[in-house]
Structure 1
Amino acid sequence: MSILVFFTVVYVLPFYLSSATRPSPQLTRDAPSSIRARVRAVTSSSIVSVALTVLVLYRTGDLSAADILRLLGVWPVSPVDSAKTILLVAILFAGPLFENGIVDGAWKDWVRGRDVYQTLSSWIGYRNYVVGPVSEEIIWRALIIPLHVLAGLSAKKIIFLTPLYFGIAHVHHLYEFRLTHPKTPLLLAVLRSLFQFTYTSLFGFFAAFVFIRTGNAYSVILAHSFCNWMGLPRFYGRVGVQAGEPIGPPGKSDGQPDDEHVHGPAWTLAYYVLLVAGAVGFYWQLFPLTESSHALPGAPKR
């Protein structure tokens, strides 16, 4: 247990030890200089954590190099397992993919790869879709889960316990948010932090499940990047506009004609049908699309 707390502390603490990474009213976590410094800190923390885990697995578990690589989920590499995991996540996000790709017309940029280039060429995109997913999945899945396996915990306990460390590691965002948004009421800031803890933990349950079922760290890294890219789906409002607008045909405003680019209610209905269908499809395909011959010991069965 102490080593798991150490991983969480060594990942977060460096953010507050240097003026280059420490948030302040004048330096937000999205500042390029802060992101660059945090990337260096996270890289160092990850290297230390990997080295410590390998040492523990080797000495305590008396494992061979091949066994350690398998427990860490880095070998053997299975592109098929990764593709099935991404398909599973895409099914869950069928509604948002429909809105972003079809309704908003982003599918052309997806085909050309323009969206990927523009996103990853920014420091925020590089952090959100590369450094964040890679480092977090290494720490909270590829390192922490094998240690629990070595300790003899059941897969069920690992799936529902380890993501809590992942969620706790994001609680420090409350402090950062309070620094950069001092006028926001404390209660709202706390509720925001609790909401973030909830959805990061929910993703952690899924990622832990996938990691154990596939023994593939690459799958959970790609799923993490995909989910960061999609964000939270809308649960209300009509498609084609900001969430919160009422469902139904657009009306006139300030004497202006209706916006010809705003889609009618049929598009919104299609979105919510796909949202529900995606959730149902995700449930039914959760086990079939995570079936793998590389599963870790004790992987849950349907």
Structure 2
Amino acid sequence: MLTWRNIVAGPLTKKLLFRTSSVPLFLLSPLPVSRIIFYSPVIFGLAHVHHFYEFRLQNPRVPVFAALLRSVFQFSFTTLFGAYATFVFIRTGSLLAAFAVHAFCNGMGLPKVWGRVERLDGRGSGLAWTVGYYTLLVGGAVGFWKELWALTEGGNGLVPRSAFGR
């Protein structure tokens, strides 16, 4: 049930509530698209602040400061991801595309960005796995950045391409 919530129900309801309601309203304002991409997700990020309360209920022995730091990180991450989802929605005009990137993100989780990658069987040092993993991680990030505009190009964008200053 948790998987269904995280990969289907959560992303779909958030896209319906936040993307399809807040973004068109922002687009009617005189704000430049770049600001809309960064303002709209603040609402999205605030929608995740309730996790602080949930975490405190489930982990009452964790210090409030640690729980607060966790929530600040989660707010920052969801706001940053919300900017990406808003960008995808505005560029493609597709709720399905924004839903797909959100569902994929929730399914994959945060990547490991430090430490050694261990072999599944626990044998050996895992050095080759670690080098391979970080090579793919960096290569994927570079490829994503270089192809972001091409991968979100389409004829159904909510604003003309010139609105992005490109």
Shared fold (TM-score, shorter chain, > 0.5): yes
CA separation of 1:188/1:301 partners in 2, compared to 1, >3 Å: closer, same or farther? same
Offset of 1:241 from its aligned partner?
Answer: 5.9
Offset of 1:300 from its aligned partner?
Answer: 1.6
Q: Does 1:264 align with 2:119?
A: no
1:125-274 matches, within 5 Å, as: 125-240=3-118, 259-260=122-123, 264-274=126-136
CA distance in structure 2 between the partners assigned to 1:136 and 1:293 by the alignment: 24
**5+ residue gaps, structure 2:** none
CA distance in structure 2 between the partners assigned to 1:301 and 1:209 by the alignment: 13
CA distance in structure 2 between the partners assigned to 1:216 and 1:197 by the alignment: 25
CA separation of 1:136/1:263 partners in 2, compared to 1, >3 Å: closer, same or farther? farther
CA distance in structure 1 between the partners assigned to 2:79 and 2:111 by the alignment: 17
Amino acid at match of 2:142: V
SS of match in other structure, 2:164: coil
Amino acid at match of 1:204: G
Equivalences, count: 164
- Length-normalised TM-score, structure 1: 0.52
Amino acid at match of 2:131: L
1:91-130 deviation line (CA, Å, top 9, x unaligned)? xxxxxxxxxxxxxxxxxxxxxxxxxxxxxxxx11111111
Identity of aligned residues (%): 49
SS of match in other structure, 1:274: helix
Amino acid at match of 2:127: P
Give the structure with the higher percent helix.
Answer: 2
CA distance in structure 2 between the partners assigned to 1:184 and 1:235 by the alignment: 24
4+ long deviations beyond 4 Å: none
Amino acid at match of 2:23: I
Farther off after superposition, 232-241 or 208-217:
232-241
1:278 corresponding residue in structure 2: 140
2:157 corresponding residue in structure 1: 295
Offset of 1:238 from its aligned partner?
Answer: 2.2
Is the CA contact (8 Å cut-off) linking 2:38 and 2:83 kept in structure 1? Answer: yes
1:46-195 matches, within 5 Å, as: 123-195=1-73
Is the CA contact (8 Å cut-off) linking 1:213 and 1:300 kept in structure 2? Answer: no
Offset of 1:301 from its aligned partner?
Answer: 4.7
Offset of 1:147 from its aligned partner?
Answer: 0.9
RMSD: 1.8
Is the CA contact (8 Å cut-off) linking 1:173 and 1:193 kept in structure 2? Answer: yes
**5+ residue gaps, structure 1:** 1-122, 243-257
- Length-normalised TM-score, structure 2: 0.92
